[in-house]
């Protein structure tokens, strides 16, 4: 079903990825560690109920998931390490959403499986390096890097 410009699946994925980014920044953890710390069950819940969570304050939603998952504060702070303007957690959520949709389509995977593949790939570290220009590459270039296992 279409609501607005995106289908519900893409919109739910966008919120899920943005919340992962928000939680990762708040807890100063790498995105891979954040995904692993939240776990598959919580990520599936976020994805399935994204339209509900999106109506709530993201601060409250993130606190609930941080507490339930027992995520602790780490030392990874790519935001402070950035020398230039830092993209918003919504901006990075959109980058991951596009990558995950591409992975799911190319590899014929369920969305949450594709999400785990994306966050556990070398591409995730490249996206999270705000001192590089990789995160604002064309979505197809980011997907190709993932699929080819290298950055051209």
User: How confident is the model over 18-44, as a mean pLDDT?
Assistant: 97
Given a contact cutoff of 8 angstroms between Cβ atoms, the answer to whether 110 and 104 are in contact is: yes
Distance from C-alpha of 148 to C-alpha of 152, rounded to nearest angstrom: 9
For residue 6, pLDDT over 90 is answered with no
Q: State yes or no: pLDDT of 5 exceeds 80.
A: no
Q: If pLDDT is split at 50, 70 and 90, which confidence band does 4 have?
A: low
Per-residue model confidence as pLDDT tens digits over 95-146: 999 999 999 999 999 999 999 999 999 999 999 999 998 998 999 999 999 9
C-alpha–C-alpha distance, residues 131 and 71, integer Å:
26
pLDDT of residue 2: 47
Closest C-alpha among 23, 56, 44, 130 to residue 32: 23
Query: Band of the pLDDT at 3, cuts 50, 70, 90?
Result: low
pTM here?
0.94
Mean pLDDT of the chain: 94
Q: Cα(95)–Cα(89) distance, rounded to whole angstroms? A: 10
Q: Give the phi and the psi of residue 47 in degrees, each rounded to 5.
A: -60, -45
Q: Which secondary-structure segment (H or E) carries 61?
A: helix 58-69
29: its two tokens: 């953890």
Q: Please name which of 24, 150, 145 lies closest in space to residue 137, comparing C-alpha atoms.
A: 145
Q: How far apart are CA 124 and CA 120, in angstroms?
A: 7
């Amino acid at each position: 079903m279409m609501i607005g410009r995106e289908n519900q699946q893409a919109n739910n994925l966008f919120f899920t990825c943005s919340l992962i980014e928000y939680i990762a920044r708040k807890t100063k953890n790498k995105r891979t560690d954040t995904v692993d710390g939240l776990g598959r069950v919580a990520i599936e819940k976020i994805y399935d109920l994204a339209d509900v969570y999106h109506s709530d304050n993201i601060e409250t939603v993130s606190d609930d998931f941080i507490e339930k998952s027992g995520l602790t504060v780490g030392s990874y702070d790519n935001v402070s390490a950035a020398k230039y303007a830092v993209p918003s957690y919504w901006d990075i959520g959109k980058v991951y959403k596009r990558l995950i949709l591409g992975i799911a389509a190319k590899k014929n995977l369920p969305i949450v499986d594709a999400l785990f593949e994306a966050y556990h790939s070398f591409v995730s570290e490249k996206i999270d390096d705000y001192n590089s220009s990789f995160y604002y590459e064309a979505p197809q270039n980011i997907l190709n890097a993932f699929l080819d296992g290298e950055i051209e």
